[in-house]
């Protein structure tokens, strides 16, 4: 970068994206202050162990952890070099019992001897210790089995342990560091498993809470706690609702408080044609971003923005003639269905100055056409706007191996999930 470029672009943010159908991991560079406006480019690409469905980062953002849909089922870890500027380097791969879904890394505040890495997918969930020397996967400490037949059913060759099982199995381990709880939404059982932590970081079962709504038809997929741990936000895959639960100190541990629609009211008759996906808090914890996908290319997906009150409840926007439960602050219709993606990650670094409050960047991935986009929110805009995008498998990397080239192996790439490295 030249001196003049550095003046125009004082900060470049690096992201890492996986795909649903190729072997590559992509390093992306987001420049928010370019002379012609924000830009997003493919910085580097790495032949990895994909397709990589989901990524997670260590707390210091120096190690990335990845699931894969490749067989046999494994998880892999990658060293992040120079905040992403110099790419990533393989650390290690570990075997697991069934194809993985979402990964989560414990924060230091939980006080474990080393970070714990949690994964839930289909019939199982695992707890790993992070290797203190390399940051990669260390010893597997626990495996939780969500099958009535337990270990015997898990080892049965007829038991589905492929990526198909993710559609009706466990989907994520979401951590609340304040109340020291963990939550596992289970799509097929239509419930949310509630855990505390044992001293070694393994999960201690507290309860299985049925999902709110029409039992057997909701499919809780992803959750995130409020900043103080007193609320749990859950998105349902089959009905595209945001459910808000009060977190209780004793059984049943969760009590349903609110239900909001991710899709707008005029789409309610076709609600079954959408699939709820991911949700994330804004860096200042005042907003919640929630996504859904179209089931087929005919339906475009949505990103809904909800305002949060001081107690963590969703503050509905009142609109003339509006129906209760549809009061999102704003909604952004995505360029297409999103395919298997429309996954988001909000920019994680909170602004230090008051002037930056009410300003967010959100990265959105698209499986249908392979786009990775940065959406920007400003309170004064009162909406999300796409400010930059890049297309995996079409836009060539500007540095590193394969610079300026797109290989045949990359054609038709579907972006899965991206995380902010810096």
The residue with greater pLDDT, 7 or 246, is: 246
Q: Which residues pair with 16 in a beta bridge?
A: 27, 419
Contacts of 150 (CB under 8 A, 6+ apart): none
Do 154 and 147 contact (CB within 8 A), yes or no?
yes
Q: Chain-wide mean pLDDT for the chain?
A: 93
Contacts of 305 (CB under 8 A, 6+ apart): 287, 288, 289, 328, 329, 330, 331, 332, 377, 383, 384
For the cut 70, the answer to whether the pLDDT of residue 107 exceeds it is yes
Confidence of residue 355 (pLDDT cuts 50, 70, 90): very low
Tokens representing 231 are 């609320």
Tokens representing 95 are 């075997």
In-domain check, residue 6: no
**Percentage of the chain modeled with pLDDT above 90:** 90
- Tell me what the mean pLDDT of segment 79-98 comes to: 96
Confidence of residue 9 (pLDDT cuts 50, 70, 90): very low
For the cut 90, the answer to whether the pLDDT of residue 282 exceeds it is yes
- Tell me what the mean pLDDT of segment 164-184 comes to: 95
pLDDT for res 4: 35
Full-model pTM: 0.95
Which among 73, 69, 75 is positioned nearest to 21, based on CA atoms?
69
Confidence of residue 350 (pLDDT cuts 50, 70, 90): low
Distances (CA, A) of 264 to 269, 322, 390: 10, 10, 27
In-domain check, residue 371: yes
CATH code of 255's domain? 2.130.10.10
Contacts of 3 (CB under 8 A, 6+ apart): none
- Tell me what the mean pLDDT of segment 177-187 comes to: 97
- Label the pairing between strands 63-67 and 74-80: antiparallel
What is the rounded distance in angstroms from the CA atom of residue 202 to the CA atom of residue 142? 6
In-domain check, residue 8: no
In-domain check, residue 406: no
Could you tell me the maximum CA-CA distance found in the chain, to the nearest angstrom?
A: 65
Confidence of residue 201 (pLDDT cuts 50, 70, 90): very high
Q: What is the pLDDT of residues 116-125, one digit of tens each?
A: 999 999 999 9
Confidence of residue 324 (pLDDT cuts 50, 70, 90): confident
The total of other beta-carbon atoms located within 10 Å of residue 46's CB is 20
Tokens representing 390 are 């890049």
pLDDT for res 2: 39
Q: List for the chain the helix, strand, coil content (%; round to 5).
A: 10, 45, 45
pLDDT for res 3: 36
pLDDT for res 319: 65
- For residue 240, report the phi and psi dihedrals to the nearest 5 degrees: 55, 50
In-domain check, residue 403: no
In-domain check, residue 122: yes
pLDDT for res 318: 78
In-domain check, residue 111: yes
In-domain check, residue 408: no
- Tell me what the mean pLDDT of segment 71-95 comes to: 96
Q: How big is the chain, counted in residues? A: 422
Q: Which residues pair with 118 in a beta bridge?
A: 104, 127
Confidence of residue 8 (pLDDT cuts 50, 70, 90): very low
Count how many Cα atoms sit within 13 Å of the Cα of residue 91 in the half-sphere of its side chain.
Answer: 23
pLDDT for res 317: 87
Tokens representing 351 are 């602004």
- Tell me what the mean pLDDT of segment 274-288 comes to: 95
- Tell me what the mean pLDDT of segment 331-338 comes to: 97
Q: Which residue range forms the structural domain that includes residue 202?
A: 13-398+413-420
Q: What is the pLDDT of residues 387-397, one digit of tens each?
A: 999 999 999 99
Q: What is the pLDDT of residues 21-62, one digit of tens each?
A: 999 999 999 999 888 899 999 999 999 998 999 999 999 999
Confidence of residue 14 (pLDDT cuts 50, 70, 90): very high
Cis ω before 51 (30° cut-off from 0) = yes
- Tell me what the mean pLDDT of segment 177-190 comes to: 97
Strand ranges of the sheet holding 63-67, from the earlier edge strand across to the other edge: 55-57, 63-67, 74-80, 88-95
**With 0-12 CB in 10 A as exposed, 13-18 as middle and 19+ as buried, what is 93?**
middle
Which among 415, 284, 406, 261 is positioned nearest to 343, based on CA atoms?
415
Looking at the structure of the chain, the number of domains it has is 1
Q: What is the pLDDT of residues 227-257, one digit of tens each?
A: 999 999 999 999 999 999 999 999 999 999 9
- Label the pairing between strands 102-105 and 88-95: unpaired
């Amino acid at each position: 970068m030249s001196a003049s470029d550095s003046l125009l672009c004082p900060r470049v943010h690096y992201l890492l994206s996986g795909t649903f159908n190729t072997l590559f991991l992509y390093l992306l560079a987001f420049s928010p202050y370019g002379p012609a406006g924000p830009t997003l480019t493919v910085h580097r690409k790495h032949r990895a162990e994909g397709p990589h469905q989901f990524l997670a980062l260590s707390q210091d953002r120096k190690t990335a952890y990845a699931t894969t849909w490749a067989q046999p089922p494994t998880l892999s870890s990658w060293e992040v070099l120079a905040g992403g500027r110099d790419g990533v380097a393989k650390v290690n791969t570990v075997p697991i019992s069934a194809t993985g879904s979402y990964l989560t890394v414990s924060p230091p505040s939980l006080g474990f001897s080393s970070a714990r890495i949690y994964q839930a997918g289909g019939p199982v969930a695992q707890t790993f210790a992070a290797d203190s020397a390399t940051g990669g996967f260390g010893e597997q400490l626990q495996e939780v089995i969500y099958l009535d037949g337990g270990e015997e059913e898990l080892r049965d060759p007829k038991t589905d342990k492929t990526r198909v099982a993710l559609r009706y199995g466990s989907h994520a381990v979401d951590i609340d560091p304040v109340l020291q709880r963990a939550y596992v939404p289970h799509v097929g059982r239509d419930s949310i498993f509630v855990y505390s932590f044992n001293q070694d970081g393994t999960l201690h079962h507290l309860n299985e809470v049925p999902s709110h709504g029409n039992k057997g038809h909701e499919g809780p997929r992803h959750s995130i706690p409020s900043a103080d741990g007193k609320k749990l936000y859950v998105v349902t895959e089959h009905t595209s609702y945001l459910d808000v639960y009060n977190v209780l100190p004793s059984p049943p541990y969760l009590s349903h408080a609110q239900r909001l629609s991710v899709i707008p009211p005029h789409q309610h008759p076709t609600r079954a044609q959408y699939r709820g996906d991911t949700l994330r808090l804004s860096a200042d914890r005042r907003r919640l971003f929630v996504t859904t996908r179209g089931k087929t290319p005919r339906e475009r997906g949505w990103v809904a923005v909800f305002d949060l009150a001081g107690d963590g409840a969703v503050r509905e926007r009142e609109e003339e003639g509006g129906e209760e439960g549809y009061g999102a602050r704003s909604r952004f219709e995505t360029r297409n269905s999103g395919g298997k993606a429309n996954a988001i990650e909000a920019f994680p670094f909170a602004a230090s100055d008051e002037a930056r409050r009410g300003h967010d960047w959100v990265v959105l991935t698209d499986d249908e056409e392979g786009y990775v986009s940065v959406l920007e929110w400003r309170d004064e805009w009162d909406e999300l706007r796409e400010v930059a995008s890049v297309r995996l498998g079409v836009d060539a990397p500007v540095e590193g191996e394969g610079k300026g080239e797109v290989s045949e192996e990359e054609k038709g790439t579907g972006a899965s999930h991206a995380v902010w490295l810096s």
